[in-house]
């Protein structure tokens, strides 16, 4: 069954149909003819070939969840827990000062336990949860800091931590974290998030609306909404409102080609690719789950087309905020992951 449900299985270049996790898509839908299946396969291989830090392993793991490639999910989770530190953080490979980044794999660890039932996954998830709940440094309102050597709140953390808490079924703590990050980082007039706040210095280290940080937030809201139980109507409406608020802020700054500037509201910053994938993923998932209206699909289609135009002959998503410093155009694990996630979610709403 796992093989049948995998996102990329038995791809046949000779046919115009792409196999995607039990779903099918006419290659012509993406304007790439018989090359579309090859693009997906190359993008996946490029991602798997990349060296990965803790959050990058987490984003790649999330891609395997969205693509229903549970065989690869298992392998990647095994690596995540192999590098679990004594305090409970996972994927600890050169990430000693990172607090929330190592939590990005948490949802995948729980998913592996759900599917395969092996006790080692539950043990790893429990240890990670204990770190998040009882050991991670926090601000006075309880929001978890991004680092352990300085008191900083980052928009990235909206994705790294709260989805795991929702997957662990600690919905109150999940919402507490979302509210804490939003209260500190949201710029209400712009409906966008600033990147980094410092409690040590009582100021923004960067009040710029970085595209990557806003993309992390959009993706997190979409994932969390799906994880919240149907009877938690209040929480679901709250998360959906956060998402529509952010999407409206993003779309008002979207270029005609479906892409965004690296600093969303700064047209002097370079044109960046991955935010379009992250936002399109959030839209496709949230339309499918009923969190947002279908009117957002038009914007998602433009974002998708813009992003696909940046994929090179090797399957790399070019023009993303690039590894390892994410301050210039390049390639990254998360850009590869969100390409796969975007396309997987689009397919799920077309059947």
Mean pLDDT of 14-43: 50
pLDDT at position 95, please? 77
- Enumerate domains of the chain plus CATH numbers: 2-348 (1.50.10.10)
Strand partners, 261: 271
* pLDDT exceeds 70 at position 310: yes
Distance between alpha carbon 253 and the CA centroid of its chain, in Å? 20
What are the tens digits of pLDDT across the range 155-205?
A: 999 999 999 999 999 999 999 999 999 999 999 999 999 999 999 999 999
* pLDDT exceeds 80 at position 22: no
* pLDDT exceeds 60 at position 317: yes
H or E element that contains 126: helix 119-130
Between these two residues, 214 and 95, which has the higher pLDDT value? 214
What are the tens digits of pLDDT across the range 234-255?
A: 999 999 999 999 999 999 999 9
Provide the 8-state DSSP code for 143: P
Identify the residue whose tokens are 């919905």.
Answer: 171
Average pLDDT of every residue of the chain:
91
Confidence of residue 34 (pLDDT cuts 50, 70, 90): low
pLDDT at position 289, please? 98
pLDDT at position 37, please? 77
Report which of 302, 207, 309, 317 is spatially closest to residue 264, judged by C-alpha positions: 207
pLDDT at position 279, please? 99
* pLDDT exceeds 70 at position 80: yes
* pLDDT exceeds 60 at position 282: yes
Helix (H, G, I), strand (E, B) or coil at 71: helix
Confidence of residue 93 (pLDDT cuts 50, 70, 90): confident
Query: 254 is written with which tokens?
Result: 């979207």
- The string of DSSP codes covering 265-287 is T-TTSPEESHHHHHHHHHHHHHH
Residue 188 makes CB contacts below 8 A (sequence gap 6+) with: none
Mean pLDDT of 116-128: 98
What are the tens digits of pLDDT across the range 140-160?
A: 999 999 999 999 999 999 999
Query: 161 is written with which tokens?
Result: 């931590």
- The string of DSSP codes covering 157-203 is HHHHSHHHHHHTT-HHHHHHHHHHHHHHHEETTTTEE-SEEETTTTE
* pLDDT exceeds 80 at position 99: yes
């Amino acid at each position: 069954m796992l093989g049948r449900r995998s996102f990329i299985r038995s791809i046949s270049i000779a046919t115009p149909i792409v196999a995607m996790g039990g779903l099918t898509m006419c290659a012509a839908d993406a304007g790439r003819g018989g090359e579309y299946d090859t693009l997906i396969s190359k993008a996946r291989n490029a991602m798997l070939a990349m060296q990965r830090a803790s959050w990058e392993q987490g984003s790649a793991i999330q891609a395997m969840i969205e693509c229903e490639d549970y065989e690869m999910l298992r392998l990647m989770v095994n690596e995540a827990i192999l590098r679990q530190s004594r305090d409970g953080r996972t994927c600890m490979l050169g990430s000693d000062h990172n607090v929330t980044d190592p939590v990005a794999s948490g949802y995948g660890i729980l998913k592996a336990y759900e599917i395969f039932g092996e006790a080692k996954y539950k043990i790893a998830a429990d240890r990670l949860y204990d770190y998040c709940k009882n050991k991670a440094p926090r601000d006075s309102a309880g929001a978890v800091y991004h680092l352990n050597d300085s008191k900083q709140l980052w928009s990235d953390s909206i994705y790294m931590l709260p989805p795991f808490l929702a997957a662990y079924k600690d919905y109150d703590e999940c919402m507490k974290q979302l509210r804490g990050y939003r209260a500190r980082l949201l710029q209400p007039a712009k409906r966008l998030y600033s990147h980094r706040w410092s409690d040590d210095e009582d100021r923004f280290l960067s009040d710029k609306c970085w595209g990557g940080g806003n993309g992390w937030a959009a993706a997190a809201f979409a994932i969390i909404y799906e994880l919240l139980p149907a009877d938690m109507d209040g929480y679901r409406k709250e998360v959906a409102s956060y998402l529509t608020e952010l999407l409206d802020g993003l779309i008002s700054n979207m270029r005609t080609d479906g892409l965004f500037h690296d600093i969303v509201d700064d047209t002097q910053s370079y044109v960046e690719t991955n935010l379009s994938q992250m936002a399109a993923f959030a839209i496709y998932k949230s339309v499918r789950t009923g969190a947002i209206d279908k009117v957002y699909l038009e914007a998602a289609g433009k974002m998708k087309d813009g992003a696909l135009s940046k994929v090179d002959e090797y399957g790399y998503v070019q023009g993303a905020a690039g590894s390892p410093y994410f301050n210039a155009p390049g390639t990254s694990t998360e850009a590869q992951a969100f390409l796969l996630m975007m396309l997987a979610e689009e397919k799920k709403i077309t059947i």
